Structure 1
Amino acid sequence: MFCRRLAARIACALAILISPPLVLTSHAQTLTMRAALSRALAASPRLTAAERDVGIATGQRIQAGALLNPELSYEQDNSFGSGIYRGTKSAETTLQISQAFELFGKRDARIAAGQAGIEVAAIQRKAVRLEVLSETAIAFLSVLGAQRRIQILDEQIAAIDRLTPLLRRRVEAGASSPAETGRAEVASALVKADRERFKATLASARRELAVLMGDRAAKFGEVSGRLDTTGRPPTFQSVVAAIDANPQLVRWTAVFAQRNAELLMARLKPYPDVRIAAGWRHFNETNDDAARLTVSVPIPVFDQNQGNILSAQESLAKTGAEREANRNTLIVIAGRAYDSLQGSLRELAVLRETAIPKATEASEAISQGYGQGRFTLLEVLDAQASVTQARLREQEALQNFHAGVATIEGLVGNPFALARESAR
């Protein structure tokens, strides 16, 4: 239930990426973020391994609570010797059952350690789920971003191709050199080369997403979603505060309880247990019977378990440092993601407020002037390339922004509370 709720919440937090219902085609179906997250959770071997760890810990907890088995023994004395002890005439036979009783709360300490082990494994499973969701969201964004970049390059190629009829008329009229036709072809070819490079990037991104969803190769069509909506993130201090709820850190509370129980077990081990035995003894020589009672207690003279006690003490003391190191690592990761998305927002502001509008305006004016003979083909191509590069930079910044959001959501375990801005 946790993973389903979290998948839904992350999908809602990335609402800009959620498209209409799946569209079926004759070959493959469009993939949405929600479907990708659901399939990744169902197929993740890491999550399966984490669930098995819970089962392992459960088995250890059951075993920790098991009582010691009784022992049944048979003894025969004074037989098969010499003289009066020849044969079994003078034999003494004893049938005895004995039971060891653990004292001083040893069994309770074992049970406590086993129960803490279950909690550690269960919390770690939640942490793995968060990681799977975050990784899948980022992989989905990579595919979506690559698709959009290819679309932008296709639009630039189409724009260059639309110049061909006008260019031919200018050449025929003697207004342009025939060499400009070759220049346009070169410009188109270079953009096509860039498109092929992005296609290779898209293929790798699709494969990575497919593997996360349990497939060896991509069996889906395009991914569906939008990247063009952003929002203002909360302060980094609030992100750091939320990180303390990350299962990776919550887990250390259970680890501390487990190691504390292990230390108690080590301290209790030198305390002796009691073994009580009761038996029946038969004397063949007189054909008499008698009861036999035995109580035994080990004397902890030589081995007082000092080494294991010291080891358990150090392991317990180590817990705090391990948690702090883990927290520092998460803060560093969150800081990188936060700085990346903040930088992406500033980059988007420059691109959307100045670079893209000005480049588009200049390209349209130069394209119109080219038809009137006021600009050269080189100026037209340069203006179109400027628009394309600005739009590609915008898509890269958008992808980096949403990847940062997905990374932080995977760390805090909750959707990022963004003050949404309208799409451009």
Structure 2
Amino acid sequence: MPSPYRRSPCITAGCAMVALATAITGPAWADPAPAFEILLQQVGASPTTIEAEALRDAADARVRQARVRPNPTLGLDVENVFGSGPFEGFSNAETTLGVTQNLELWGRRGARFNVARAEAGAALFRRDLAVVDAAGRLALVYAEAEAAERRFDLAEEALGVTLADARAALTLVEEGREPMVRALQGESEAATARATLDEAQAERDATFARLTVVAMLPTPVTSIETSLLDQVPSASRSGAETTPVVRVAEAERDAAERRVAVERIQSRPDVSASLGLRRYEAEKATALTLGLSLPLPLFDGNRGNIEAAQAELRAADARLMGARQLAQADRNAALARLKASTSWVTATDAGVTAAQEAYRLSRIGFDAGRISQLELRSSRAALISSRNAAVDARLARVRAEIDLARLQGRVPFGAAQ
């Protein structure tokens, strides 16, 4: 039996490792991130939202431009000058000052305006979708950062528990109640827990850096105080009957249909009227000139552009049909995932409670020598696994809420847009 006053080099190294791990897991300075609700107020300043807003402004400007009539053309013609005989010089010149105006017959201006207005409507829906997507991306990054922080805290706590078990095993080895292999096993488990903690810390720092960028915060985030993972989505929440993607597809289909009308009108003659004042130098007289001009549709009937517009309309119909087919299926799937994740959260919380009690009893039994170190490790592993599963369940619930919110046209954990 080994003496309780003599430690092997292995045990000494294990104790040194335990002390070092304990010393470097202290609290750190933290700069908490604002609450998710506060960050949502800045979602309009995200690059994707700004881009969508700018494209909407451009579409509105094209609507205003589509209402404007084309400018008239001012022309000056001088005839019968610099010739020979009686037409030498300007004595018999005929000077005409005229104005030509495109009449925009057949409803050209109205059709052009209808296309611009339909495209502006599509741009508006794309802007709304961009806001919802930006809010969903922010919620996901926030939840992932919070989950990473919780995993780090759990890894830190797991290291502490593992170290405590290792110390208990070392005591039993020194007392001769356990073989040396138990000390080696404890040392190995502590090293694994330390590596897990380092990995969790790296993941936490990476998600904090991403949250800082996505939320456009002036200072780096080092902690999260207001929880999003613990927020429970309301099952009674409802958004618009038509999803934002379907609304965009409907607007694009409307614009494609109106472009067909424009191309058909373009096949009709483009009539221009002119009015002028002619000066006859020889007679010292003036007279008005009137005229109409239109192209003869002998070669170009605009058939290619009409067929292209009709093909684009068929494509828009197909996109709209696909969007409508997916909308209901995606909505039902998102509702099912949200319901399942909510149940998963409840189940994992119950599992954590049971695992905590099981580990507590196992530790009491181990200290009393009634159960083996293997059983203690098993209960500890079950506790660590159940706690991580609870974090995963909450993150899955947030993701399900994000998916459902996008389909309903609202921000996650918020109202419809």
TM-score (structure 2 length as normaliser): 0.82
Which amino acid counterpart does residue 373 of structure 2 have in structure 1? L
Aligned-pair CA distance for 1:342: 4.4
TM-score (structure 1 length as normaliser): 0.81
The percent of aligned pairs where both chains have the same amino acid is 23
Give unpaired runs (5+ residues) of structure 1: 1-24, 419-424
Matches within 5 A, 1:125-274: 125-163=127-165, 166-214=168-216, 219-223=220-224, 224-225=226-227, 227-228=229-230, 230=232, 233=235, 244-274=241-271
Aligned-pair CA distance for 1:149: 1.3
- The aligned residue for residue 375 of structure 2 is 379
Which amino acid counterpart does residue 185 of structure 1 have in structure 2? E
Moved more, 69-78 or 322-331: 322-331
- The aligned residue for residue 276 of structure 1 is 273
Which amino acid counterpart does residue 387 of structure 1 have in structure 2? L
Aligned-pair CA distance for 1:330: 4.5
Matches within 5 A, 1:6-405: 28-39=31-42, 41-163=43-165, 166-214=168-216, 219-223=220-224, 224-225=226-227, 227-228=229-230, 230=232, 233=235, 244-330=241-327, 333-334=330-331, 337-353=334-350, 355-405=351-401
- How large is the Cα RMSD of the aligned pairs? 2.9
| d(CA) in 1 for partners of 2:152, 2:84 | 102
Aligned-pair CA distance for 1:132: 1.0
Distance 1:210 1:325, change over 3 A: farther
Deviations, residues 362-388 of structure 1 (Å, cap 9, x unaligned): 321221122212223333233212111
| d(CA) in 2 for partners of 1:167, 1:395 | 30
Partner secondary structure for residue 262 of structure 1: helix
| d(CA) in 2 for partners of 1:165, 1:297 | 99
| d(CA) in 2 for partners of 1:344, 1:104 | 59
- Tell me if the contact between 2:74 and 2:97 (Cα under 8 Å) persists in the aligned partners: yes
| d(CA) in 2 for partners of 1:49, 1:332 | 30
Deviations, residues 70-96 of structure 1 (Å, cap 9, x unaligned): 111111111112222222222222112
Which amino acid counterpart does residue 183 of structure 1 have in structure 2? Q
Moved more, 166-175 or 276-285: 166-175
Which amino acid counterpart does residue 372 of structure 1 have in structure 2? A
Aligned residues, how many?
Answer: 386
Partner secondary structure for residue 32 of structure 2: coil
Which amino acid counterpart does residue 177 of structure 1 have in structure 2? P
Deviations, residues 152-195 of structure 1 (Å, cap 9, x unaligned): 12112112333455445434432233443332222122112112
Distance 1:344 1:256, change over 3 A: closer
Partner secondary structure for residue 122 of structure 1: helix
- Tell me if the contact between 1:28 and 1:221 (Cα under 8 Å) persists in the aligned partners: yes
Deviations, residues 84-135 of structure 1 (Å, cap 9, x unaligned): 2222222222112222211122111111111111111011100111111112
- Tell me if the contact between 2:359 and 2:376 (Cα under 8 Å) persists in the aligned partners: yes
- Tell me if the contact between 1:109 and 1:265 (Cα under 8 Å) persists in the aligned partners: yes
Give unpaired runs (5+ residues) of structure 2: 1-27
Moved more, 45-54 or 177-186: 177-186
Aligned-pair CA distance for 1:298: 3.2
Partner secondary structure for residue 41 of structure 2: helix
| d(CA) in 2 for partners of 1:177, 1:226 | 47
Distance 1:220 1:178, change over 3 A: same
